[in-house]
Structure 1
Amino acid sequence: MKDYIALATKGYYEWWRYLVGAFLIFIIWQIGTIPFVAAVMYKIATDGGDFSNVGNYETLMGTLDSNLTFFLMLLSFVIGLFGLWLIVRFFHNQKFKDLLTTRKKFDWKRVFFGFSIVGFFITVMTIIDYNINPDDYLWNLKWDQFFILAIIGIVMVPLQTSFEELYFRGYFMQGLGVIFKNRWLPLLVTSVGFGLLHLGNPEVGKVGNVIMVSYIGTGFLLGIMALMDEGLELSIGYHAGNNLITALLVTADWTAFQTESILLYTAEPSIGLDVLTPVLVIYPIYLLIMAKVYKWKNWKSKLFGKVELPDNEL
């Protein structure tokens, strides 16, 4: 079967299963935040601090060691990933591979390609900007802290991003596709939903709602990758590369990930072209490169066509 969405029909795919399953996965994911909140509360208690601001983002991010904070933040996604596996495997009776790809085996080369293309771009653009605007950066490299960050990042970030890809571009994409029997609605809903997931990020408070263009645009980019390539390998690799390289290379005091990165960005964030250029220029270039490498064809049918279900439809 070469239709990625239709792979859902190899398991139980009644609409109510996706409604219940999505809710259960979300609950398990949120349960995964308990260690982080508990650690923050314990630290505040031992320091004799005030619990009234424990729900404040700055309090959550600033109470613990930055590497411990980074680890505990990512841990919730790892627990969410385990919950997603449980639901897919035992509630839908679907092979987990069928949530990943239409190929006989998961294609790690595609993962590394997706990782490399965005990792290379972020690194090059950061180096260029650092040389053009050196006053906007502080050199922050502390080898002992960076080494711990690197270990945490290399292990945990791919799990975090894989959960997001499997939840949105996998579980929701397949579920909506087999329920509504088309491809455009899952692409639209999962892309907007992915953007709205980041609505609580500190970047939104700092820059404004205009940055949602970037988040939703990224959702469309990753969704198009999944539908055109009939699998999640490219989007998993891209998402991991984007988050990991950013976490290791540069951070700011207004970003979701505040890490012991090599550089600290100290300038005020700007809006306008900095938000629109990646979505309108860079993202299409990524897709054109991938289309050339993997010989994507039939864009209209793959992005807007119908989902053909087997005759034994439930």
Structure 2
Amino acid sequence: MYIEQAYKGLHDWWRYIVGVIIAIAGVFIFSVPHAAAIAYKQLKGEVDMSKLNDINYIMTLFESNINLILILLPFVGGLICLLLAVKFLHKQPLIQLTTTRKSIDWKRFWFVFFFWGILSSGLVLLDYFMSPDDYVLNFNLTPFLILCVIAIILVPLQTSFEEYLFRGYLMQGLGIITKRKWVPLITTSLVFGLLHISNPEVEKLGYIIMVYYIGTGLFLGIMTLMDEGLELALGFHAANNLFTALLVTADWTAFQTHSIFKDLSDPTEAGFIDVFMPVFVVFPILLFIFSKVYKWNNWKGKLLGRVEEQSVHEEINDIGVS
């Protein structure tokens, strides 16, 4: 019933096109501070104009905490504009974009947030103790505390924008337009993955890393449809980005922060562990665990079934009768 929630608001196909344009406009508007900061450095002669197409160079123009704010602000703008489009363009309450439950289940969010945050951090620490030469202690108390404040506030907004856009807005919109659940599941996963193609990791690891990005999108999409809500996807994505930003950084990652550790290993040697292990081993195990915890059933119907408007009308009538 998660996709069918869109039927409770205004759901003409053109509204979703306008809504996406509004969200993208929010991203561009909140990118102005970053562009203005670069322009100011240009006026001061502190920018090598020949390197402005190099994302790695751009990310070194500012102190890392300031840079983190500048690169996360566009996601905040996108989230604000997307939620405004949902409210005023679709007349759809936020709860209906978030979940099929009567209220947002924060227990689900916090469960997966701490579950994945602790597990992923444990794996990083295990790798640190097994391969200490691949890491250097990067901890510096004052900039780290500033990083904590910035990351705790802005990273969840960044990940929430991506979840509400892909697993929420586009999942529901494409679902009711195509009447098939597998179409938005596959489409949003592909688009989500391909939008990461400009990340510095792609340049270092090659296009094979797209398997990880697309696989992550598919994992989050399956989780959303099976659990009939965004709570688990929101918690997982927030934990994944937040704990990573605080724990480990590298010269070739999207988030270059004052983290506790810095990874010095050769990224070209990533291969199976960094790309294929999460998608084909870790994510399936996590889906199995969550399916047992939350008693998921009817996998075929929820992932491959038809999107039926009638079922929503029946639900509304049942509520009215009761």
CA contact (8 A) 2:4 2:312 kept: no
Partner secondary structure for residue 310 of structure 2: coil
**Is 2:272 the partner of 1:273?**
yes
Rounded Cα–Cα distance in structure 2 between residues aligned with 1:296 and 1:54: 48
CA contact (8 A) 2:5 2:312 kept: no
1:190 maps to which of 174, 188, 191: 188
**Is 2:300 the partner of 1:300?**
yes
The number of aligned residues is: 311
The one-letter amino acid of 2:303's match is: L
Unaligned runs of 5+ in 1: none
Q: Which residue of 1 aligns with 2:247?
A: 249
Q: Which residue of 1 aligns with 2:177?
A: 179
Q: Which residue of 2 aligns with 1:69?
A: 67
CA contact (8 A) 1:9 1:310 kept: no
CA contact (8 A) 1:28 1:80 kept: yes
Rounded Cα–Cα distance in structure 2 between residues aligned with 1:4 and 1:195: 22
The one-letter amino acid of 1:69's match is: N
Higher alpha-carbon deviation: 288-297 or 20-29: 20-29
**Is 2:103 the partner of 1:105?**
yes
CA contact (8 A) 1:11 1:92 kept: yes
**Could you give the per-residue CA deviations for residues 39-97 of structure 1, whole angstroms, max 9, x where no partner exists?**
12213423544444334312321111100100111111011100001111111111111
Q: 1:49 and 1:202, CA in 2 relative to 1: closer, same or farther beyond 3 A?
A: closer
Rounded Cα–Cα distance in structure 2 between residues aligned with 1:48 and 1:286: 47
CA contact (8 A) 1:153 1:244 kept: yes
Rounded Cα–Cα distance in structure 2 between residues aligned with 1:14 and 1:228: 25
The one-letter amino acid of 2:181's match is: R
Partner secondary structure for residue 200 of structure 1: coil
Q: Which residue of 1 aligns with 2:309?
A: 309
Partner secondary structure for residue 262 of structure 2: strand
**Could you give the per-residue CA deviations for residues 149-183 of structure 1, whole angstroms, max 9, x where no partner exists?**
00001111111000000000000000001111111
Unaligned runs of 5+ in 2: 314-322
Q: Which residue of 2 aligns with 1:94?
A: 92
CA contact (8 A) 2:83 2:94 kept: yes
Q: 1:312 and 1:109, CA in 2 relative to 1: closer, same or farther beyond 3 A?
A: closer
Partner secondary structure for residue 264 of structure 1: strand
Higher alpha-carbon deviation: 68-77 or 25-34: 25-34
Q: Which residue of 2 aligns with 1:42?
A: 40
Runs of 4+ in 1 over 2 A off after TM superposition: 43-56, 310-313
Q: 1:255 and 1:49, CA in 2 relative to 1: closer, same or farther beyond 3 A?
A: closer
The one-letter amino acid of 2:77's match is: I
Q: Which residue of 2 aligns with 1:230?
A: 228
**Is 2:32 the partner of 1:30?**
no
CA RMSD of aligned residues (A): 1.4
Q: Which residue of 2 aligns with 1:218?
A: 216
**Could you give the per-residue CA deviations for residues 217-252 of structure 1, whole angstroms, max 9, x where no partner exists?**
000110001000000000000000000000000010
Partner secondary structure for residue 138 of structure 1: strand
Q: Which residue of 2 aligns with 1:155?
A: 153
Percent pairwise identity:
51
1:166 maps to which of 131, 155, 164: 164
Higher alpha-carbon deviation: 231-240 or 120-129: 120-129
Partner secondary structure for residue 59 of structure 2: helix
CA drift at 1:113: 1.4
Rounded Cα–Cα distance in structure 1 between residues aligned with 2:192 and 2:66: 26
Rounded Cα–Cα distance in structure 2 between residues aligned with 1:310 and 1:51: 58
Rounded Cα–Cα distance in structure 1 between residues aligned with 2:51 and 2:311: 56
CA contact (8 A) 1:37 1:60 kept: no
Rounded Cα–Cα distance in structure 2 between residues aligned with 1:177 and 1:267: 42
**Could you give the per-residue CA deviations for residues 103-162 of structure 1, whole angstroms, max 9, x where no partner exists?**
111111111112122212211111111011000001000000000000001111111000
Q: Which residue of 1 aligns with 2:57?
A: 59
**Is 2:115 the partner of 1:83?**
no
Q: Which residue of 2 aligns with 1:284?
A: 284
